[in-house]
């Protein structure tokens, strides 16, 4: 199945979007940090085969999407939700499934909870519900230690220099070092992410997601109505950044919840174990709810 890259004008941005399939049944895939639309390369063909028009955009501040705002306030979750809504509107879709990983999953959680646009299904990969995460950071010292980078990213300038030094070695190590099965993290794949992060204004925009989240909060602070949309969580159990206990309590915030845990798989779940993730997606998306 061919994946084509197109440009989509939405909310004042020119989004770079990888697309597979056609029609008005949209699967919108939101990537995380320090990734890009490229992280969904294994899922777009599957979604297209299942009848979806699958879109994977470079989100605000990332990759080929322009412009890349410099100010931290441009990355408030409220502004990011506007991007998602505008992309859905631009697609002309009548039905929407929202799929997110890492920061893209955090954005998807918040979008679904706030009911910005109607959603048919919600798929979350390796990020807890924001309310659960906030609670764990207040009382779970082990998770606080794992989340040290979120606080490091609040410093001015230094995180950008550290992440891009030595041809973005830290970006490369984030994938290759954390992955349990490193097969899909070839030199070419790591080069792609390193190149994206070193583009003009990119790393500042990428890090500003964290700065806006901790300094401004916005809709990330709740309140958190129960999500009525059927929701699937796919979680690689060997996540070095997010403990498996972060799944506890999720059912307080989701009416119809399915959790699929993958042993011996890292945080980069849909890239590291695409066959397993795709099998879960195929079964769950095809099952009437």
Q: Are 28 and 96 in contact (CB under 8 A)?
A: yes
Residue with tokens 């799944």: 247
The residues that bridge with 14 in the sheet, in sequence order, are: 9, 66
Work out the angle at residue 20's Cα, subtended by the Cα atoms of residues 15 and 26, and round it to the nearest 5 degrees: 75
- The CA distance from 209 to 235, in Å, is 22
Quickly count: other Cβ atoms within 10 Å of residue 102's Cβ: 24
Computed from CA positions of residues 144, 73, 115, 59, in that sequence, does the dihedral angle turn out positive or negative? negative
Closest of 166, 206, 194, 238 to residue 38, by C-alpha: 194
Catalytic residues: 102, 210, 267
Q: Specify whether the CB–CB gap between 20 and 2 falls below 8 A.
A: yes
Asked if 260 contacts 249 with a C-beta cutoff of 8 angstroms, the reply is no
Angle (CA) 262-77-41 rounded to 5° is 40
DSSP state string for 188-201? HHHHHHHHHHTSTT
- Helix then strand then coil, in percent of the chain rounded to 5, is 45, 20, 35
Q: Which of 32, 213, 216, 244 is nearest to 143 (CA)?
A: 244
Vertex 241, ends 177 and 256: CA angle to 5°?
125
């Amino acid at each position: 199945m061919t994946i084509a890259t197109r440009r989509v004008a939405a909310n004042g941005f020119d989004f770079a979007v990888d697309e597979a399939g056609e029609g008005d049944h949209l699967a919108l895939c939101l990537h995380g940090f320090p990734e890009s639309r490229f992280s969904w390369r294994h899922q777009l063909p599957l979604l297209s085969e299942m009848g979806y028009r699958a879109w994977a955009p470079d989100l605000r501040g990332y990759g080929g999407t322009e412009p890349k705002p410099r100010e931290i306030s441009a990355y408030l979750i409220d502004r990011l939700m506007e991007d998602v809504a505008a992309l859905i509107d631009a697609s002309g879709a009548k039905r929407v499934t929202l799929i997110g990983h890492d920061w893209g999953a955090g954005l998807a959680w918040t979008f679904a909870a706030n009911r910005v646009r109607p959603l048919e299904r919600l798929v979350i990969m390796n990020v807890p519900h924001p309310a659960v995460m906030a609670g764990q950071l207040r009382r779970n010292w082990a998770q606080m230690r794992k989340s040290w980078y979120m606080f490091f990213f609040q410093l001015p300038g230094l995180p950008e220099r550290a992440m891009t030094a030595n041809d973005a070695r830290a970006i490369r190590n984030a994938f290759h070092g954390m992955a349990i099965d490193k097969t899909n993290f070839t030199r070419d794949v790591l080069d792609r992410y390193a190149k994206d992060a070193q583009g003009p204004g990119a790393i500042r925009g990428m890090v500003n997601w964290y700065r806006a989240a901790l300094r401004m909060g916005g809709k990330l602070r709740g309140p958190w109505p129960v999500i009525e949309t059927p929701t699937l969580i796919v979680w690689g159990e060997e996540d070095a950044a997010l403990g498996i206990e972060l799944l506890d309590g999720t059912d307080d915030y989701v009416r119809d919840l399915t959790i699929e845990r993958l042993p011996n798989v890292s945080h980069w779940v849909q890239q590291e174990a695409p066959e397993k993730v795709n099998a879960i997606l195929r079964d769950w998306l095809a099952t009437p709810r």
